[in-house]
Structure formats: C-alpha cells, structure tokens
Structure 1
Amino acid sequence: MEIVGTGFLARNLRPLADSYPDTVALAAGVSWASGTSAADFAREAELLRRTARRCAAEGLRLMFFSTAATGMYGLAEGPGREDGPVTPCTPYGAHKLALEGLLRDTGADHLILRLGHLVGPDQPEHQLLPTLLRQLREGTIRIQRGAARDLIDVTDVVTVVDRLLALDLRAETVNVASGAAIPVEEIVDHLQHSLGLAAERVYQYAGRQHDISIEKLRALVPQVERMGFGPDYYRRILDNFTAGTGTRV
C-alpha cells in the first residue's frame, strides 16, 4: 500500500505498507477542525483531485479519510449513519463532505472512512487529548458545555483498516469509531483522577453531542466486538495515552 503523508495517521499505517499493493492511502491534508484557512482546504482538495486521477489512470483504489466528528454529524437526528442525509455544521465538516463528493466524481475506485477522534502517542498538539493535557498542566481547562466526543485508539483504527481493505471494498463509505459519545467533562474527570492534576474549569459556549453509528462497521468487521467498544472503552485508551506521554503528577 502506498501511503501519502507523513503525519500521525500516516505513521501509524506503516505496518500495512507491504500489503494491498493496489491501494493508495491518502493520509495527508487538514486534520484541524477549527481555525483552518480556505487555502488549507484548497490544497487538500487539489491533492485529492490529483491523487484520484492517478489512481483512476493506474487502476488503483484510493482510501480517503474523512470525518465522523461533530462537524459532519452534529446536526443528525439519531446516530450519524453513512447512508443517511448529512448536513455539516462546521466549515471543516462541509469541506470533508465536499471532498467525498469530489472523489466519487473522479471515477476512481475508492473507500471512504469517516473517522472518530483518534487517540495515540505523538499525535499533533492541536488535537483534543494533547490540548486537554496541556491545559490540565497549566491549571485551567476550557470545556464546551454539553460537548461529547467519540474516541478511538489509532491502533484499533489500523486493525479495522486492515480488515476493511482485505474485503476489497469499492465505492463504500464506513464510519470508523467506537460508537460511544463520551461527554468531554467525563474525559476530563478521568484524566484528572488518573494523573492527580487539579485545574479550574472554564465553561465556554455549548458544544454538540452526537452518536456515530457503527452498525455497518460491526457487520463488515465482526472483530470489533473484541476491541471493547462501548461506554467504558475510552477509559482504557485514555490510560494508554497518558502512559505514553510520560505525564507525571
């Protein structure tokens, strides 16, 4: 598998590099759901367009990583599903949905994976878990009131990707998440308890809470039943993450 990109997800996909020679994994582009410029969006769109054209010409399958996060499904009634209508509620969500359409229009064989919030060692500092840890250490943590996030370990994502690619899926969209929306306050509670860190909580504007449907994922990859997905899954991956950061009280 050819991996396009050098960032967090791309690095974690490297164990699959010698498998699936007919597949290109586009693991590059915008990974910041807020504060992203139109220029960043345009660069990612051009990269996708160029890569998809090459895949179409060479008979390759393109795996594109979209989002199942709030920006995509935050306005959904009930769990966000791959086969239902989607009304993005952020520029980032609208951008990712537009890229999905762009990819389909190129005619390239493709697999679209809508990801939850990835967690793992050495992830970018602007993402959720590094941000929360940094704020905890600084003594003041900012929380969107009512917000919730579906966290999934990046190693579990790689396992799921491996299984999905082995099915030789084409023209499919699949949510890859744990299926459990965890209130951000509970995530902070667990981090504080585990690390013994005290911080003042500053509540900001109300966030959104939504569930991500993983019904399709469970049907395609029965092995996810052994990954422990559910309401307590986040505790293990938070503990793994903090252990990997070397955080000390």
Structure 2
Amino acid sequence: MEIIGNGFIARSLRPIAEKHPDTVVLAAGVSWASGVAAADFEREAELLDKVAKECVATGRRLLFFSTAATGMYGAVDGPGREDTPITPCTPYGAHKFALEEQLHDSGAEFVVLRLGHLVGPEQPPHQLLPALVRQIREGAVRLHRGAARDLIAVADVVTITDRLLELDLRSETVNVASGEAVPVEQIVDRLELRLGVTALREYRDSGTHHVISIEKLRSLVPEVARLGFSPEYHRGVIDAFVGSSVAA
C-alpha cells in the first residue's frame, strides 16, 4: 500500500505497508477534534480531492480514516451505525462527514473507516489518553460529567484494517471501535491506579455518552472476537499505554 502521511496512524500502519498494493491510505488529515482552524480543514479537503483523482486515474482504492466519536455519533439516538442518519454535532464531526460525502462523489473506489479513540505508543499529546495522563500527573484532571469514550488499541486497528483490506471491499464504510462506551471517570480511575497518582477532578458541563455499533465489523471480520472486546477491554489498553509511556 501507499501510505500518505507521517503521523500516528501512518506510522502504525508501516508494518503492513508491503501489503495491499492496490490501495492508497490517506493518513495525513486533521486528528485534533477541537481547536482546529478552518484552513486546516480546507487543506485536508484539498488533499483528499487530489488523492481521490489520482486513485481514479490509476484504478487504485482509497482508504480514508473518519471518526466514530462524539462529533459523528453524539446526537444519534441509539448505537451509532454506519447506516444511521447522521447530524454531526461538532465542527470536526461535520468536517469528517463532509469529506466522506466528497469521497462518495469523487468517482474513486474507497473504504471509509470510522475510528473510535485510538490508543498507542507515541500518539500525539493532544489526544485523549496522553492529555489525561498529563493532567493527572499535574494534579488536576478536567472531566465532562457523564461523558464516555470508546477506546481501541492502535495495534488492533492495524489488525482490523489489514483484514478488511483483504476482503476487497469497495464503497464501504465500517466502524472500527471496541463497541464499549467507557465512562471517562472509569478511564481516569484506571490511569490513576496504574500511575500511582490521585488527581483532583474538576467537572464541567455534561458530556456525551454514545455507543458505537460494531455489528457490521463483526460480520465482516469474525476474528475480532479474538481481540477481547468487552466491558473490561479498556483496562488492558490503558495498562499497555501507561507501560509504554513509563518505558519511554
């Protein structure tokens, strides 16, 4: 595969870079769900347009990473499914959904993966777990009351991506997540336990609590049953992340 980008997802996919030669992976987009300038959104849209045209010209498939997080499914009634009517509820979610529609209209063959909250070594400091670890170590962590997040190890995302690409999917959108909405308080509990630190909790307005459906993922890739997705899955993800952070 051709991987466009040098960020967290792009680096994580390098172990399978020699596979799927018919696929171009666009892993160079906006990864920050808040505080992003309109110019950054515009650059990603322009890059997607350029890469999609190249894929049309060469007959290759385009893999695009979208989001299954709050910005996309936060306003959905019930589990967020790929066929659910969507009204994105954040600028980031609206941007990613608009890019999905842009890709649909591009004429390129594509696969869209809507991702949960990825966790892994050397991920950007602004993302969820690195930000929480930093706040806990500083002595105070800011939480939205009632918020929940779906955590998934980036290594499991790579495994799933590899398997989905082997299926020769075309014009498909698939949620890639654990399917478990973990209250942020429980995430902080586990981080404090593993770090050996207790932080002051500062609560803000109510947050979102939504479940990402992985019914389609399970039907396409039954092997995900071996990845251990369950209400306890996030504990191992957090433990591995803290262990890699300490080692670093």
Do both proteins adopt the same fold according to a TM-score greater than 0.5, normalized to the shorter chain? yes
What secondary structure is seen at the aligned counterpart in 2 of 1:112? Answer: strand
Q: Tell me how far apart the structure 2 counterparts of residues 238 and 203 of structure 1 sit (CA, whole Å).
A: 22
Number of the residue aligned with 2:65: 65
Number of the residue aligned with 1:123: 123
User: What is the aligned-residue identity percentage?
Assistant: 66
Q: Tell me how far apart the structure 2 counterparts of residues 247 and 111 of structure 1 sit (CA, whole Å).
A: 35
- 1:25-48: per-residue Cα shift (whole Å, max 9, x none)? 001110000001100000000000
Q: Tell me how far apart the structure 1 counterparts of residues 194 and 244 of structure 2 sit (CA, whole Å).
A: 13
**8 Å Cα contact 1:88/1:94 also seen in 2:** yes
Number of the residue aligned with 1:106: 106
What secondary structure is seen at the aligned counterpart in 1 of 2:202? Answer: strand
Q: Tell me how far apart the structure 2 counterparts of residues 174 and 6 of structure 1 sit (CA, whole Å).
A: 23
Number of the residue aligned with 2:235: 235
Give the deviation of 1:173 after TM superposition: 0.2
Larger mean CA deviation between 149-158 and 188-197 belongs to 188-197
TM score, norm. by length of structure 1 = 0.98
What secondary structure is seen at the aligned counterpart in 2 of 1:174? Answer: strand
Q: Tell me how far apart the structure 2 counterparts of residues 232 and 221 of structure 1 sit (CA, whole Å).
A: 21
Number of the residue aligned with 2:147: 147
Q: Tell me how far apart the structure 1 counterparts of residues 191 and 106 of structure 2 sit (CA, whole Å).
A: 44
**8 Å Cα contact 1:111/1:169 also seen in 2:** yes
Q: Tell me how far apart the structure 1 counterparts of residues 153 and 117 of structure 2 sit (CA, whole Å).
A: 8
Give the deviation of 1:247 after TM superposition: 6.9
What secondary structure is seen at the aligned counterpart in 2 of 1:106? Answer: coil
Number of the residue aligned with 2:222: 222
Number of the residue aligned with 2:208: 208
Number of the residue aligned with 2:38: 38
Runs of 4+ in 1 over 2 A off after TM superposition: none
Q: Tell me how far apart the structure 2 counterparts of residues 80 and 247 of structure 1 sit (CA, whole Å).
A: 36
Q: Tell me how far apart the structure 2 counterparts of residues 102 and 245 of structure 1 sit (CA, whole Å).
A: 38
Gaps of 5+ in 2: none
CA RMSD of aligned residues (A): 0.9
Number of equivalenced pairs:
248
**8 Å Cα contact 1:195/1:247 also seen in 2:** no
Gaps of 5+ in 1: none
Number of the residue aligned with 2:75: 75
Number of the residue aligned with 1:136: 136
Number of the residue aligned with 2:13: 13
TM score, norm. by length of structure 2 = 0.99
Closer, same or farther: CA 230–91 of 1 in aligned 2, 3 Å? same
